[in-house]
Chains A and B, each alone.
Chain A
Amino acid sequence: MATQYEIPVGAQHISLLEPLHFKFITENEKIVDTTANVFYVHRGIEKACCSKFKFRQVSFVVGRVCGLCSISHTTAYSQVAEKLIKIEIPLRAKHLRMLVIELDRIHSHLLCLSHVAENSGFEALFMKTMQYREAFMELLEAICGNRIQYDFSIVGGVARDLKPEVGQMIMERLKKFKPQLDELVDIYQNNWSLSLKNKGAGAITKKDAMRLNVVGPFARAAGLAIDVRNETEDLLPWKEVGFEIVTGTAGDVYARNMVRLGEINVSMRIIENIIKGLPESALITETKAFPDGEAVVRIEAPRGELFYYAKGNKTQILERLKIKAPTFSNISAMVEGFKGNEYGSVPAIIASYDPCLSCTAR
């Protein structure tokens, strides 16, 4: 047996953006085992939501679960609360929620892609991808008033309307971004040194993705066609606005890059369709009902399936709120995906998992 080395990575490490700790057992450069600690900062948000805040205020609290996908959290919570108080939101509010969710997905995927490039040693591509992402941060600020943690979805609908000039601005930015996206696809797909580092790295098979209940682009890159937008039309009409699922086959870092780039393309089409056909209606359904019974909601956040469970008892304070973030589902696969890889691939593999510990340890 070769000499084994134990190499810790994190909780503070140059290739990690989040408080995440891995311990790698390697035989020379080859990883033979991994353990992970993902819960450094438990923030007690579920407890706060069921004790300190009224159910209408909770959408503003869960918007702070994550800076990157706060619209997914506020929308999922709003939907589960709307089920408990038994209301249907206006059609315009549904379309505006989808619009912001897709803009958020684009900026989140670009962030992930940029970090994969950076962790693969391609600093210039990191800069370029982040530069393109900036345009979407500005659009989100123009719509929601915040670059991150947008309190856009609220119980009953949305907090703001889309101004015509902002709609026009989005269409212009998308037009400008299309050739930029083609350029990114070309680089991520064909750049020899990047492909060399990303192809075959951190691969999991479709069978493993099913066995480990993987979600999001991580699962889709392995060929597992799981996307909440593809499944249900009862809360948000995704197919009506042009949603199509994007999958890969190889399940490696390269395939994850390609799936995310493909999803950015689909998101752009959805955004264009929403703006072109934005229905006229109120923005919010008013009610004085209190939450009663239990309900669950699933929504496709940028990293995958986000699950909310809520239980009400006809008072202002919820009896229970449970949040299951996508990264929570992917922890087992994250650990297994390292096995058999070279230790030098670890930074790029971690970035391609796109872990969000802020959501996981909410």
Chain B
Amino acid sequence: MKRIETSIENLKTDISNFYNQEKHHFVVMNAVDLGEKIEVQWFFCDYEPPCAITAFCTQIQPTNEIPSIRDLISSAWVAEAELVDLMDIKIENTSKGFVLEPDFESGPLRKKK
């Protein structure tokens, strides 16, 4: 897996420069609670063998809002909506309530303080 470190500011430009829908397949988004920060990851896989996996990674504060990539990858809204509910992070133009019911405890995958 190839990790590419990015930032909230550069994320869309970096993914836009990398992603070609005929060459790459968007796999999913993931987030890991590191304690003070959260690492958000966007996974891509090449269509051509050996089908290398590339992960764009950025560390954010839980209060940061990260940009949505659905204007670059239209199917990314599902992964974004899931992370908003399960990790309680803020993503541009993404509201809560897709994966979990509105009265569910927010961010169940976050570490408890």
* A328 interface contact, C-beta 8 A: yes
Name the one of B50, B75, B86, B108 contacting A329, with C-beta atoms under 8 angstroms: B75
* A332 interface contact, C-beta 8 A: yes
Within 8 A of A (CB), among B61-83: 73-75, 77-79, 82
CB distance from B48 to the nearest CB of A (A): 9
**Minimal Cβ-Cβ distance residue in A for B21:** A210
* B109 near A296: Cβ-Cβ < 8 Å: no
CB distance from A333 to the nearest CB of B (A): 7
Give chain B residues whose Cβ lies under 8 Å from the Cβ of A225: 47
* B8 interface contact, C-beta 8 A: no
* B50 near A232: Cβ-Cβ < 8 Å: yes
* B25 near A42: Cβ-Cβ < 8 Å: no
Q: Mark B24-42, 1 if CB is under 8 A from A, else 0.
A: 0111101011000000010
Chain B residues engaging chain A, CB cutoff 8 angstroms: 1, 21-22, 25-28, 30, 32-33, 41, 43, 45, 47, 49-51, 53, 55, 73-75, 77-79, 82, 86, 98-100, 104, 108-109
20 CB contacts below 8 A, A to B, read: A39-B99, A39-B100, A42-B104, A47-B108, A50-B109, A211-B21, A212-B74, A213-B75, A226-B25, A228-B51, A232-B49, A295-B1, A296-B55, A298-B27, A320-B32, A320-B33, A328-B79, A328-B82, A332-B75, A361-B99
Chain A residues engaging chain B, CB cutoff 8 angstroms: 39, 42, 44, 46-47, 50, 210-213, 215, 225-226, 228, 230-232, 294-296, 298, 305, 307, 309, 311, 319-320, 322, 324, 328-329, 331-333, 361
